[in-house]
Amino acid sequence: MIWRREARTADDTIAAGEAFAKVLRSTDIVLLSGTLGAGKTTFVKGVARGLGVRERITSPTFTMVREHQCANDLGIVTLHHCDVYRVGSLDEVVDLALGELVEESGVALIEWGELAATVFGRDVMTVDFVVDDEEKRTLIVDGELAHGRTALLDEWAAS
């Protein structure tokens, strides 16, 4: 089973991200995939809003990982926002130790995460951003972790 949601505008993508925050639990790893400009960072902005992040979200392309403190009722304290697009090798992703970063009370959203899917060593969720035409995107959620969140994702896809 997979879950889809359409986003016709950047604001729709933000709304999809904000609603997706309700699906998240601490220690979750979410891999975001899709071409440059597909809306991955825009989606993270929405998730950050849903998690109660007050800082501005910018693309972490050059820093690879940014951490944001959250304020929510979900028990998620830290949002780790990564972009592995410029990572030279899988070893560098291993060095980021993302699996350890999210232990206890964090979640990680990783742009271009599919490039590093093999290094996480645990179940993950994936969100694939498919650009149908210039503006319209379809967000497709899948992954082992997603299959344990069926009810929440049904709600996400329908809202």
Ligand X SMILES: Nc1ncnc2c1ncn2[C@@H]1O[C@H](COP(=O)(O)OP(=O)(O)O)[C@@H](O)[C@H]1O
* Beta pairing class for 106-111 and 78-83: parallel
Q: Which of residues 55-74 bind Mg ion (CB under 5 A)?
A: 59
Partner from ligand X, Mg ion, none contacting 42, C-beta within 5 to 8 A by type = ligand X
Q: Are 62 and 32 in contact (CB under 8 A)?
A: no
Q: Which of residues 30-49 bind ligand X (CB under 6 A)?
A: 34, 36-42
Partner from ligand X, Mg ion, none contacting 126, C-beta within 5 to 8 A by type = none
Q: Which of residues 107-126 bind ligand X (CB under 6 A)?
A: 111
CB of 71 to ligand X, least distance (A): 23
Q: Which of 148, 127, 143, 105 is nearest to 31 (CA)?
A: 127
* Beta pairing class for 3-7 and 137-142: antiparallel
Which one of residues 13, 41, 78, 126 is an interface residue with Mg ion (CB under 5 A)? 41
Shorter beta-carbon distance to Mg ion: residue 117 or 152: 117
Shorter beta-carbon distance to Mg ion: residue 77 or 117: 117
Measured in degrees and rounded to the nearest 5, phi and psi for residue 21 equal: -55, -30
Shorter beta-carbon distance to ligand X: residue 77 or 157: 157
Q: Which residues of 15-30 are buried (b: 16+ CB within 10 A; e: fewer)?
A: bbbbbbbbbbebbbbb
Separation between Cα atoms, residue 21 and residue 48, nearest integer Å: 8
CB of 104 to Mg ion, least distance (A): 27
Q: Are 7 and 16 in contact (CB under 8 A)?
A: yes
Two structure tokens written together for 136: 């319209």
Shorter beta-carbon distance to ligand X: residue 10 or 26: 10
Contacting positions for ligand X (CB under 6 A): 7-10, 12-13, 34, 36-42, 59, 111, 135, 137
What is the binding site for Mg ion (CB under 5 A)?
40-41, 59, 111
